[in-house]
Structure 1
């Protein structure tokens, strides 16, 4: 996906408040295409995504997915159809979203990792992460990446017709979590989440991250920023949770964290920056230096921006899968376990999802 933009005048705060009161998000499934091109603003964002579910263990409970003819099921299948290759289309308990924001003001994307511990309770962990990402997409598509933009030559009555509102990643995550809590099909579950928005007018990146999913920014072939993981203790990340009705004592020790605990961050992006969002299936198995090297070599090989970001995403996922199956190679997870006084050898098998964004300045 490619998004671009040209600077515009800010809408006055009183009109913003009116626009927020008047406009409501659409809830229909998106017909998102793999790549879209708009050339109106000074920043372009090229987005690629890749994923791979881990092999299911023998005796795994049968999953009950969202119906394909429902809103979430249809949207899920469209997202999985963005990548046309021979790899598995199953994202496992992970999921993601990529969404152009209102009037092409920017792009929002994120990843979520459903916590697998619910399987023993007969709950499909994928439902929570898919529903969370669906609702992130639903709110982001109707919102602006910054303050709503307006033509200053319009009269007051015309200005009042501006629809939409500015939505931060934290606000989006909070609203999406509320949407999951209202989903009857999601009886219980939990998930980590990383939500990012990129403003095509200002080049501003904003993020909200809860748990051990996360993202990194590569600038000039080195790590400019890496989101720190949030956890209660080793291998127990902070997570958004929906408890079953009449949970009782059985779930008294469940982690129930709030979107307000998400770590937020913002920075001004530059030409050539690479943003990589990932679930812990990636960060537990691939070191940051390896991630930088892979992206650097692909960028050096050239090709269109769309080809580069998709190749980066695919290669990162493929490398993570190789690493997680090795017991002879030291992994980031093994090192962290050793710091906690625990023994773990080699890679950690898991679902892995990666979304890659490349920044281009056009003016």
Structure 2
């Protein structure tokens, strides 16, 4: 049974008082970068019809893709991403999604599913609080005004976004992995929900202290949110149908200087964890601002992942995983790669 909006939304009347005085000791500096894999043609593949640029999802997609980055690519392939300040800048929500390429054999564009999923995650999270709706702590209880809004966890965001995709008429069918993370500006708390083999890592003091475990049905077949075609449509008998209820959830306290890296498997199939940590360091040439540093880290990760994909003699994480399953896939794995980096700063208030 799916969550209803009534079950997770706790609304009260809008307060007339601004809440800018509430202390937010944590700030999160975001960088995002991406690159598509070389185009692949499948027998029977239909011409791709993207969301129109003058539509709601298409115009949002174009704005996300237009954000400045150093990697000279304009498309995400079948990946997509989002990041947004939540209500009253109470925190940041971000995510990545990887559309499953296998749908191309049935004439379905996997990019539509991942783009729609991230659009709806963005839509729901931007108007919600990252934690309980905030009130001014300096006021006595009797003086505090009621606050409009609701707390939205990453799991709830994934569930609502998936429901949005199921209602999108232009998304006839498809599936995608999903990773959604929220970062609380008041407490420094990270919460996450992940389904499939996208994920995230936390880097502290130049070491990876946590990496999200992948969820798969079998080798190279991740768990995935799925929309099946209508009964009159073309059958796709190999589809895996998983639910947001199967997403793994996680939370932890972040510290000043921590780096959170959300990624699709185009990164982790080609780049080892210790390499990710080495790349996510301060670069004097990137500029002094934390925003510039976060963006430079995201760009370097994508550039290095693409170099590793093209390496024929370098042993990749994907090659090692395949070998454990008795398979031989030498070198890098060509794939779309999308990365969102959050650099954590803590200040005294």
Question: Same fold, TM exceeding 0.5?
Answer: yes
Q: Kindly state the Cα deviation for residue 297 of structure 1 after the two structures are TM-superposed.
A: 5.5
Match of 1:197 among 175, 182, 204: 182
For the structure 1 residues 249 and 66, does the alpha-carbon distance in structure 2 shift closer, same or farther, using more than 3 Å as the test?
closer
Kept after mapping to 1: 8 A contact 2:97/2:114: yes
For the structure 1 residues 252 and 323, does the alpha-carbon distance in structure 2 shift closer, same or farther, using more than 3 Å as the test?
same
Match of 1:114 among 96, 99, 113: 99
State the aligned residue count.
334
Deviations 1:171-222 (A, max 9, x none): 0000000000000010000000100000000000000000000000001111
For the structure 1 residues 221 and 121, does the alpha-carbon distance in structure 2 shift closer, same or farther, using more than 3 Å as the test?
same
Match of 1:44 among 27, 34, 53: 27
Matched, 1:54 2:37: yes
Matched, 1:286 2:271: yes
Match of 1:80 among 65, 71, 84: 65
Match of 2:172 among 187, 190, 202: 187
For the structure 1 residues 64 and 249, does the alpha-carbon distance in structure 2 shift closer, same or farther, using more than 3 Å as the test?
closer
Q: Kindly state the Cα deviation for residue 299 of structure 1 after the two structures are TM-superposed.
A: 7.2
Matched, 1:94 2:79: yes
For the structure 1 residues 248 and 92, does the alpha-carbon distance in structure 2 shift closer, same or farther, using more than 3 Å as the test?
closer
Q: Kindly state the Cα deviation for residue 163 of structure 1 after the two structures are TM-superposed.
A: 1.1
Which residue number in structure 2 is paired with residue 124 of structure 1? 109
Deviations 1:311-354 (A, max 9, x none): 10000000000100111100000000000111110000000000
Match of 2:126 among 120, 135, 141: 141
Q: Could you tell me how far apart the structure 2 residues matched to 1:141 and 1:320 are?
A: 30
Which residue number in structure 2 is paired with residue 159 of structure 1? 145
Matched, 1:271 2:256: yes
For the structure 1 residues 334 and 148, does the alpha-carbon distance in structure 2 shift closer, same or farther, using more than 3 Å as the test?
same
Which residue number in structure 2 is paired with residue 354 of structure 1? 339
The 5 Å alignment of 1:278-357 reads 278-296=263-281, 298=283, 303-357=288-342
For the structure 1 residues 20 and 53, does the alpha-carbon distance in structure 2 shift closer, same or farther, using more than 3 Å as the test?
same
Unaligned runs of 5+ in 2: 1-6, 15-20
Matched, 1:173 2:153: no
Q: Could you tell me how far apart the structure 1 residues matched to 2:69 and 2:135 are?
A: 38
TM-score normalised by length of structure 2: 0.90
Kept after mapping to 1: 8 A contact 2:135/2:144: no
Matched, 1:256 2:246: no
Kept after mapping to 2: 8 A contact 1:217/1:276: yes
Q: Kindly state the Cα deviation for residue 157 of structure 1 after the two structures are TM-superposed.
A: 9.6
Deviations 1:3-23 (A, max 9, x none): xxxxxxxxxxxxxx9972468
TM-score normalised by length of structure 1: 0.86
